[in-house]
């Protein structure tokens, strides 16, 4: 593959694709994303060791996710350990997930018109005789 496609434009395009492919937990699955990135890096730099490739891939995950993965395992680790940690963090924790806003209309109490407010007012009655015409102060 390297001898067939390793010209400058191919390397430039592969490098751009590699840099732009940031992990998104809602779109990508960790296993397929990690191995796709590993194949791209090994095609670009075949003399790189596996641990260096793994570390370079982890840098493209994002700050919080990268930190959480590195905290779970002590270096050097295998690729499987990194993928297992990535899957575990994504499924069990909030890291790597984006929040969706709930529209304000669904949260709000339904609006009450002025006529409805007039109907809902309590009727004031006299506490001695119970009539609405006269109100006793004491």
Number of folded domains in the chain? 1
Is the residue at 38 inside a domain?
yes
The arithmetic mean of pLDDT across residues 58-86, rounded, is 80
Contact (Cβ atoms closer than 8 angstroms) between residue 40 and residue 17: yes
Binned at pLDDT 50, 70 and 90, residue 138 comes out as very low
The pLDDT of residue 95: 64
- Nearest residue to 95 via CA among 71, 73, 63, 60: 63
Average pLDDT over residues 66-95: 79
Give CA–CA dist 22/24, Å, rounded.
6
The answer to whether position 102 is within a domain reads: no
45 in a domain, yes or no?
A: yes
Domain that holds residue 60: 2-92
Q: What's the confidence (pLDDT) of residue 1?
A: 52
User: Positive or negative, the Cα torsion across 75, 77, 79, 83?
Assistant: negative
Within a domain: residue 10? yes
Q: Give the model confidence (pLDDT) of 1-17 as tens digits.
A: 555 666 788 788 888 88
Give the pLDDT confidence score for residue 13 in this predicted structure: 81
Whole-number percent of the chain with pLDDT over 70: 74
In a domain, 60, yes or no: yes
Asked whether residue 112 is domain-assigned, the answer is: no
**Helices 30-44 and 79-92: angle between axes, nearest 10 degrees:** 140
pLDDT of residue 113: 73
Instruction: Specify if 58 maps to a domain.
Output: yes
pLDDT (mean) for 47-74: 82
Average pLDDT over residues 113-127: 73
Q: pTM of the entire structure?
A: 0.59
Domain-embedded: residue 22: yes
């Amino acid at each position: 593959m390297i001898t067939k496609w390793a010209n400058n434009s191919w390397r430039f395009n592969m490098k751009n694709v590699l840099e732009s492919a940031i992990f998104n937990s809602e779109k990508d699955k960790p296993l397929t994303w990690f191995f796709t990135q590993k194949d791209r890096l090994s095609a670009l730099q075949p003399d790189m060791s596996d641990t260096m490739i793994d570390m370079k891939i982890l840098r493209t995950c994002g700050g919080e996710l990268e930190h959480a993965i590195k905290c779970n395992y002590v270096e050097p680790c295998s690729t499987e350990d990194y993928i297992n940690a990535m899957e575990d963090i994504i499924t069990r924790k909030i890291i790597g997930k984006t929040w969706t806003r709930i529209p304000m209309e669904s949260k709000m109490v339904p609006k009450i018109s002025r006529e409805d407010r007039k109907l809902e007012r309590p009727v004031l009655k006299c506490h001695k005789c119970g009539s609405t015409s006269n109100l006793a102060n004491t």
